[in-house]
Chain A
Amino acid sequence: MHISCMQENLAKGVSAVSRIVGVRSTLPILSNMLLSTDKGRLKIAGTDLEIALVVFIGAKVEKEGSITVPARLLADFVSSNQDKTINLLVENTQITAKSDHVTAHLHGLDAEDFPLIPDVTSDESYQIKPSDLKEVINQVVFATALDETRPVLTGVLCVIHGSTLTLVATDSYRLAERTIPLMKPAPKDVSCIIPARTLSEVGRLLELSLESVTLTIAQTQVSFSFGNCTLISRILEGTYPDYEQIIPKKATTTAQVSIGALQSALKLASSFSRDISHNIRIVFIPDSPTTISATSANMGDTSNTVEGTTTGETLEIACNAKFILDILAVMPGDSVTIKCAGKVSPLMLIPSSRVDYRTLVMPLKLDD
């Protein structure tokens, strides 16, 4: 293989792929990335056997060929190289990288031994607007569970229905659900559970200037294709819990407050409850400001009020401020509507101006 390409393009591709490549793999070749020429372009691929990323970049191909090289080393080398173009020459399992000021020899491994990236083939694929997808990933993925006791909860439920895509995540303490439109109606309704990490990577790689993202869902694999990238991931096995049943249908207390004001009030209160897992109390009183307070046996206490409009019954509820702050950080618009049906039922937070985003936070139990 002999090619030359722009440092800027190579750096972008190599650093994106090196994020996917596993650091601690038992098999040495899994810490390598594959470089190979493909129809006048350079194909860069990496995998940890759960996710695979393939990136194509423009290159001047002198001689076809392929090799695998240590991912971290190549990424570091290319990103700190200041020269404009880089020349890559492969001889056996050694690659020589040459540019105006730098020469390097990297020891690689035979491309023959690199895992094959599975194809995701399905009759159906769906087109999504990149800005929509980026936003929905941002608004939902944070609510997935980190611990693996219930593997399905470490993933995001992805439901295609008619001309909409709905993503849902919950760790059983909070839940986030967002619906976005597809660019054209889907011929068939499907659903699958995608690992949270897959979506985070997609969110990171997505550039808003792109035209569309193609989502393909096959039996066991899912792929996202956009621009010159294709990300392939396994689908999580299992049945997602029927989350609809826990979304409260009616509320006894409804409050509408400014997101910014609520955020600062919660941050203030939660600094007093850092040692008791951000446990704070909120009191809603009809036609009065909302009170947010926190008491710590070690540090002291605080109480502050937030202006807003409250209707329904008076309600005192305790919850983890961090859960609410996580949600408010990604909540669109200026104002949030909070609905609740009692101090042991979940707190529902939705943007005041739209209906496509719903979040829930479970309360803490009050002792009294």
Chain B
Amino acid sequence: MELDDIWQAALGELEVALSKANYTTWFRGTRLVDIQPPQAVISVPSAFVKKWFEKRYDQEILKTLKKLTDGAVTHITYMIGAPLPRAHTTTPQPTTHAPSPVSQNAQASIDLTPPNTMTTLRLRPEYTFDSFIVGSNNRLAYAACQAVAQTPGKMHNPLVVYGGVGLGKTHLIHAIGNTLLAHNPKLKLLYTSCEDFANDFVQSIQSKKSESFKKKYRSIDVFLVDDIQFLSRKEGTQEEFFHTFNALHQNDRQIVMTSDRIPTAIPDLEGRLSSRFGMGMVADIQPPDLETRLAIVQEKATRAGMDIDPDVLSFIAESFMSNIRELEGALNKVIAYCQLQGEQPTLDLARAALKDQLGAGAKKGATTPDKLIDIVTRHFSITKEEIMGKQRNRRFVHPRHILMYLMRLECGMSFPQIGDALGGKDHTTIMHGSGVIEKELGRDDELREELGSIRTILYAK
């Protein structure tokens, strides 16, 4: 279980045990920052709270944490950490200066912003290349991002990483930012979402500060933009983005963008933009295959310090296919559920923990060959007989190869098994067919996308 989850659970119990006033006064802004059995470290906002916890609530907190960690924690230390930002009150603070909007615009202010504030605020430090799990589905994107992080502005400029929801685009773009800043903390690196760029642009027009907007975006060394598909239908923003892009690109400044689809497929995106996006490198991330998913859950389980039965891990990996976020969520849920029950995760417990998700999104067990045949034939608009048959027409051979490849990967069948399922074909035929696809995948983007869309249908069922 994540530290935050444990602390949330502990706070839940403490809230019940203490009076409301006591709870809100003393526990607001506290965090569990570390557990190194038998020691837990809790960060509190001030010295007052530290003293009070040590005097008053130490036993109570210890009892709760002990329970939640199966007795692993027997001692707590309190440290004074950065307080969480205070929630804004609904009544706006009166400011001494600028009572009228006119003057607010006109009043020059001292530029006290250090060059990297924005970036340091927003890049998530845990998103690094080391924590990214590479599989065949994302190898290209990973390699391209690494190349960019090594030599920004030299290779792959601009770099566009595209892929579906929850497949790690943001993780990669943050990893680039984190690596670059680790090498050179003074680098003027700006990470922003397309949405923020658009908002910033609109605001700069409203407050007549387009000069400072230009200065901000055109003087940077590395520009990381998340979710450029949101440029769609925003003509003014597209125009500004186009100029920003040109200004940066002409000066060999690195630009990295992510999108949920290939740039040419973003609706209502000006041609001059989509063609520019394609100028450097366009790398895709496909949904991960079973092996990669298994590697991901294993890694996450290890990081959570949990030793989980491989059967349970593969159950989770098999059940959640199209989205890594869901996969992680499922693993966390199983861990939390089992800790609550005070038992080691077993297949049955995992099933019980995930019964809601399994019913709704993912399916039970592995893909059946029949279903795969159904999806592939429908995708290529051919009949089951044709795909199972022996006709060596290109129209049938290609789908047949894809089917063989997918049966091997998604159903985990052996070559002879696939041969049987496809109407008694020789296992060498299957080896050949599946091999053709594997080989083509390395150099054929269209094929990769084709497989991606078949998988999307497969996992959506």
Contact = CB atoms under 8 A, between A and B. Distances in A.
A26 B21 contact: yes
A203 B50 CA distance: 28
A27 interface: yes
B111 interface: yes
Contact of B103 (A30, A115, A320): A320
A246 B110 contact: yes
A323 interface: yes
19 contacts: A26-B20, A49-B46, A49-B49, A147-B93, A147-B95, A148-B86, A171-B96, A171-B97, A172-B109, A172-B110, A220-B80, A242-B114, A243-B110, A246-B111, A277-B99, A277-B102, A346-B110, A364-B107, A364-B108
Nearest to B25: A27
B70 to A, nearest CB: 32
A363 interface: yes
B380 interface: no
Nearest to B86: A148
A109 B103 CA distance: 51
B97 A148 contact: no
Contacts of A171: 96-97
B103 A26 contact: no
Given A147-B95, A148-B86, A320-B103, A115 B111 contact: no
Contacts of A175: 110
Contacts of A116: 48, 51-52, 55
Given A362-B108, A364-B106, A322 B96 contact: yes
A323 B99 CA distance: 13
A364 B102 CA distance: 11
Interface of A: 25-28, 30, 47, 49-50, 52, 115-118, 146-148, 150-151, 153, 170-173, 175, 219-221, 234, 237, 239, 241-243, 246, 275-277, 279, 318, 320, 322-323, 344, 346, 360, 362-365
Contacts of B20: 26
Nearest to A175: B110
Interface string B18-57: 0011101100000000000000000000111111100100
Given A276-B103, A322-B97, A49 B25 contact: yes
B236 interface: no
Interface of B: 20-22, 24-25, 46-52, 55, 80, 82-83, 85-86, 88, 93-100, 102-103, 106-114
B117 to A, nearest CB: 10
B313 to A, nearest CB: 40
A220 B51 contact: no
Nearest to A49: B48
Nearest to B208: A365
A175 B95 CA distance: 16
B283 to A, nearest CB: 37
Which of A27, A146, A242 has the most CB atoms of chain B within a 10 A radius of its CB? A27
